[in-house]
Amino acid sequence: MNDLSEYYEVIDAVNDEYSTELYILNENEFLGSPIKEQYDTKYENYINHILSISIFEFKNECIQIATEISEINISAYVNVRSTLASKTVSFYSNRNSMTLTYKYSGSTFDSSYKPTATVKKLNNTNYFSMSSYSGSFKNSNKTYSVVAKGKIYTPSGVVSNKSFTVNFNL
């Protein structure tokens, strides 16, 4: 297999500096990941793609992933008079969207109903994959804050334990 040592050094340096968990998939992880389709399910194609990126570009991409803003504030305005509503917003630089389904009473969230959040990928080469989320009411039930946890998949590797906070405001 080709020598990835310089790429691992870049990843280690970025992980140390930015407290991230970026890594290159091993073959078993690759075969179980959603990005395998981009490389015709061949691990060698994945590694060769990484090796085709200059070290300078690779480092810049890793830094960009590590410093991505992970908190978004969204106002959820509902024009219809229904107690059940949903709002979809883009996050992670328009690479994903999050849909919140909730109930409301006037200008506050109905705290007796636990809102649900779903994440959809909008980009096939660089995106967030949610594994779990938690949510809480804030600001006298006028804000619902969702913390989505999961992994970021990029052509250069994977970042595990990444989280995004999306605040939905009424």
Enumerate the domain spans of the chain.
5-66, 71-152+160-169
In the prediction, which pLDDT does 79 show? Answer: 47
User: What confidence tier does 82 reach under pLDDT thresholds 50, 70, 90?
Assistant: very low
In the prediction, which pLDDT does 77 show? Answer: 53
- Top pLDDT among 75 and 122 is at 122
The contacts of residue 159 (CB under 8 Å, 6+ apart) are: 20, 21, 22, 23, 65, 66, 151, 152
